Amino acid sequence: MPDGAEARETAARIGLETARDEARISLAAVGLSEEAGRAGFRFNMLVSDNDGGGRESCLAISPGLGDGKDPGLYPVVKF
């Protein structure tokens, strides 16, 4: 991608749009406790682009979910 003004002009011509979604998942909804949050657990999430004809593309937090399931690749979440 070009630097500086050319990049801004290109982005303006393309008309880039940003979508933002927010989700809140309670610990109880997924069978976790506050203790599990302190100890850490593996978590991943994938969003698919599927308009009815099958997945066109997807975006995931990390590998291990889109092309098969491998929980060992999910990041560990602690809070």
pLDDT tens digits, 18-69? 778 888 989 899 899 999 999 999 999 999 988 898 988 999 999 999 888 9
Q: Which residue has the higher pLDDT, 62 or 3?
A: 62
Tokens at 73, concatenated? 């690749």
Give the per-residue pLDDT at 16: 64
- The overall pTM is greater than 0.75: no
Domain ranges of the chain: 23-77
Are 48 and 40 within 8 A, CB to CB? Answer: no
Whether 2 has a pLDDT exceeding 60, the answer reads: no
One-letter amino acid at 59 equals L
Are 52 and 42 within 8 A, CB to CB? Answer: no
Tokens at 7, concatenated? 């990049």
What element of type H or E holds 8? helix 4-14
Tokens at 58, concatenated? 């997807």
